[in-house]
Amino acid sequence: MFYRLAEQHRQFIRDLVLNLQALAIALENQGYMASCYTCGGELNSASFMVSLADNHLIRFLVSDYGITWTEMRDDRELMKLEGAEAINQLQELANLLKKASVPATV
């Protein structure tokens, strides 16, 4: 049972890293400065960063050891979330990107 859970966790982390890479590309295409760095080819960790405005930075870290969302403005930490709450904030960022890319209809 525990081996199965460990493998499911590894797959979850890989999926999350792949989605972070895609989000970074989508944000760059919208004109934001974004990056997603991974260590090695196994996709077991990533560091995602995006600058939303002057001095407004989001950093999302994922690894086997945990998941964190850190939002900073003017080099001060505004918010730090972990686990599911961090992933929820990431979804909010993705939702904002979707809204920005949908053309307005009149």
Residue range(s) defining the domain that contains residue 61? 2-98
Q: What would the pLDDT profile of 12-38 be if each residue is shown by its tens digit?
A: 999 999 999 999 999 999 999 999 999
Residue 40 domain-assigned?
A: yes
Residue 106 domain-assigned?
A: no
Residue 69 domain-assigned?
A: yes
Residue 34 domain-assigned?
A: yes
* The pLDDT of residue 42: 84
Q: Which two tokens stand for residue 37?
A: 């760095």
Q: Quick check: 96 pLDDT over 90? A: no
| Distance from C-alpha of 62 to C-alpha of 1, rounded to nearest angstrom | 24
Query: Which of 27, 77, 73, 67 lies closest to 50 in space, CA to CA?
Result: 27
Residue 103 domain-assigned?
A: no
Burial 33-47 (b: 16+ CB within 10 A, else e): ebebebeeeebebbe
* The pLDDT of residue 106: 46
CB 62 within 8 A of CB 42: no
Q: Which residue has the tokens 């982390």?
A: 13
Domain count, the chain: 1
Residue 105 domain-assigned?
A: no
Q: What would the pLDDT profile of 54-94 be if each residue is shown by its tens digit?
A: 899 999 999 888 999 999 999 999 999 999 999 999 999 99
